[in-house]
Structure 1
């Protein structure tokens, strides 16, 4: 089963930072979860934790696949 997981950090309209997670099977509609943080350091830490957890589970970076 081919799956994808996408992490991105984007600013909010009210000065916060959002960590946006998209995941699902390739070829189907995806799921989305948005977490909002007060500062970019917290969002960066959460991003790093999620990225390392997904790499341990077998997900690979798109740059590595090209």
Structure 2
């Protein structure tokens, strides 16, 4: 899932990418990448025991970012 937030008046050009990936030991990772458009940004992976937990966390993040103006 790729989200962007662009506000030219505030010189705000941001991206937020969320991806669910399987781990090597049956766990699931929620990979988040965010930063200014055109840069490589920051990267973080949170690990979950089940795919359902990772999907719930992704949904919560998506809703939080939507409230902040990401599309």
Q: TM range, normalised to the smaller chain? A: 0.7 to 0.9
**Secondary structure of 1:2's aligned partner:** strand
The alignment's C-alpha RMSD in Å is 0.7
**Secondary structure of 1:52's aligned partner:** helix
Say how many residue pairs are matched: 60
**Secondary structure of 2:35's aligned partner:** strand
TM-score by length of 1: 0.86
TM-score by length of 2: 0.81
Greater share of strand residues, 1 or 2? 2
- What corresponds to 1:38 in structure 2? 49
Moved over 2 A (4+): none
- What corresponds to 2:25 in structure 1? 14
